Amino acid sequence: MRDVLKLGAFLLIVAGIAGLGLGYVNSLTAPVILAQEEENKISGFQEVYSQAEEIKDESAKYLPDGADGIVREVNVAYQKGTPAGVIYMVEPKGYGGEIQMLVAFDIATKEITAIKVLSNKETPGLGAKCGEEFFSERFQNKSAEGVLELVKQEPVGDNQVMAITAATITSKAVVEGVNTAREHFVSNFL
């Protein structure tokens, strides 16, 4: 019995020291990690919507049911105190998992300013190409008023976007993400 107590006490001390050490390291690294994530987010916002003076996360206001569906965040970009654009964070389901991406709209022109894939788990060399510029460029300046449609050949209509070769499922997911954000944008900001 005494043996058990002694061993238990020893383990407790070892775990205690380890815990203290971890706590100390965490107090050093946590602020760095937080600052970095914030910075990433802001630079991502600026990439998709450059003319904002201030960007506020207004998800609580525009997503009353919480992060329902695939829309995760609604960020409103202000210019001179009035909303000028909206940046959505959406997570449509791709081939290998969720694709986290930003979609930005301009309120005045009713167009998509840009999209940006933040992270994806798609197949390297295929679906993972959705993060590259050549694909996100295909969404630029598309009108927010019509539903976007995925096609396999060179697009003929204004609302058509060409899929990535041999990665139709990923392309579909990205288009679905943009369309969902678009719907929310049209019904809340136009």
Residues that bind other proteins (CB under 8 A): 6-7, 10-11, 14-15, 18, 21-22, 25-26, 28-30, 32-33, 36, 95, 119, 123-126, 151-152, 165-166, 168-169
Output the smallest distance, CB 17 to other proteins, in A. 9
Nearest one of 89, 83, 76 to 44, comparing CA atoms: 89
Task: Indicate the SS3 state at residue 37.
Answer: helix
C-beta closer to other proteins: residue 106 or 176: 176
Output the smallest distance, CB 183 to other proteins, in A. 21
Say if strands 82-90 and 111-119 run parallel, antiparallel, or are unpaired: unpaired
C-beta closer to other proteins: residue 36 or 140: 36
How many C-beta neighbours within 10 Å does residue 164 have? 21
**∠ Cα 58 59 63 (to 5°):** 130
Output the smallest distance, CB 69 to other proteins, in A. 22
Output the smallest distance, CB 31 to other proteins, in A. 9
Radius of gyration for the chain, computed over Cα atoms and rounded to the nearest angstrom: 22
